[in-house]
Amino acid sequence: MASEIYRIAILGCRGRGTAAARAYHAHPRCEIVGLCDLVPELLNTLGEELGVKARYDDLDKMIQETAPDIVAVPTGTEFHYPLCMRVVEHGVNIDVEKPICVDLVQADNLLQKAEEKVIQIAVHHQGRSGASLKAVAAALREGKIGQLRHITASGKGYYGGYGLMNIGTHLLNNVLELAGHCERVSASCLTDGRPSTAEDVVPSPSGMGTILGEHITATLAFEGNVTGTLLQHRFPTVDSTAYGIEVFGTEGRLFWKSHAAWRMPVPHFVPDSDESVWEPLPLEIPEHYDPESPPALDDYMYADDYVRALDEGRPHPSNGAEGRHVLEIMMGVFESAKLSKPVELPQKNRKHPLVQWRQESGLGDPPEMPRPVAEWLAAEDERLGRS
């Protein structure tokens, strides 16, 4: 049995950094050897919680002095590329928050450099490592719903383009586990109830690049006549209960939520039928996970997957190539809305389609907008003449 203790350094001590740090800290095969943040209050709060004295405001110095096996990069998306490229230069494995980068040019460069340095990149799509998705994937592999036909995935009601880059990335990564890689995408993007135009291309809140569309409906095509639908529709109020994935087979259905999974043993719901009832699927949880401990189960299982991947010399299930393919699908959604036709994947043109659309339309770069989501939404409503 492998017994190596993996050394983990955390770059960024806000919400996602704290979640990742707690997961690694709780894992019996991991040790947090360093924390880094430019905000002393965040750095010291997490350091005191975890009992980590090695605290830095310089990434390179942290790596040089602590010699980590993995550096977690749970920062804003716009910082992923430059920070990960610095980590790669040190020859250290990476755990980067989703999405991997803001465009495919960045993702391609990062993965190429990681291959040259012979290091692993994992993208923190913790749901794919979670017990509930693993239960759904196992039921599908075991033929519990016959042949896979279609998958639907819905976001939480964020502004469409922002929801795509934020929550859509989790949904798509989960769908890849069930259906394999996507070959084609066709999308409709609406802004203020009309087809989105180049003038509706705007910078995302939270630094997630360039986005489009309040309401996004995308159709995905996979091998074997399998299709999917991705919904990222803006609601008046965000509703987390809308978040989920339903899997349609020839002999039944499966349903995934973040912490639970169900199976219906018939392909179509029939009112008042005893068979048209969702049955909970059993979840396999690592014996060494303490449900009373701080880390969320999915984050803990993501860390466990990384430990086992390094033990076995294989990629993490949510590896860099998978994270890049998620980004290909999302860029395909935007490109399809731009061209009003399906887009084949992977794209030959790796530049951001929305940035190009504005340039081709003579509009230049999108105007600056606030970074915080609430302020951003108010500014977007004002742009659309709603206030």
Average pLDDT over residues 142-163: 98
* Per-residue pLDDT reduced to its tens digit, 332-381: 999 999 999 999 999 999 999 999 999 999 998 898 999 999 999 999 99
The stretch 76-99 carries a mean pLDDT of: 98
Answer yes or no: do 204 and 313 share one domain. Answer: no
pLDDT exceeds 50 at position 23: yes
Average confidence (pLDDT) over 46-58: 98
Q: Both 253 and 162 in a single domain?
A: yes
pLDDT confidence of residue 2: 64
Question: Are residues 238 and 330 both part of a single domain?
Answer: yes
Residue 277 has pLDDT above 70, yes or no: yes
Q: What's the average model confidence in pLDDT over 211-220?
A: 98
Average pLDDT, integer, range 257-269: 95
Q: What residue numbers bound the domain in which 99 lies?
A: 6-126+295-317
3-state secondary structure the chain: CCCCCEEEEEECCCHHHHHHHHHHHHCCCEEEEEEECCCHHHHHHHHHHHCCCCEECCHHHHHHHHCCCEEEECCCHHHHHHHHHHHHHCCCEEEECCCCCCCHHHHHHHHHHHHHHCCCEEECCHHHHCHHHHHHHHHHHCCCCCCEEEEEEECCCCCHHHHHHHHHHHHHHHHHHHHCCEEEEEEEEEECCEECCHHHCEECHHHCCEECCCEEEEEEEEHHHCEEEEEEECCCCCCHHHCEEEEEECCCEEEEECCEEEEECCCCCCCCCCCCCCEECCCCCCCCCCCCCCCCHHHHHHHHHHHHHHHHCCCCCCEHHHHHHHHHHHHHHHHHHHHCCCEECCCCCCCCHHHHHHHHCCCCCCCCCCCCHHHHHHHHHHHCCCC
Instruction: Please determine, for residue 141, whether its predicted confidence score (pLDDT) is greater than 80.
Output: yes
CATH code of residue 181: 3.30.360.10
289 lies in some domain:
no
Q: What is the pLDDT of residue 177?
A: 98
Q: What is the CATH number of the domain that holds 59?
A: 3.40.50.720
Using a pLDDT cut of 90, give the percent of the chain over it: 96
pLDDT of residue 1: 44
Q: What was the pLDDT predicted at 3?
A: 73
In this model, does residue 253 exceed pLDDT 50?
Answer: yes
301 shares a domain with 273: no
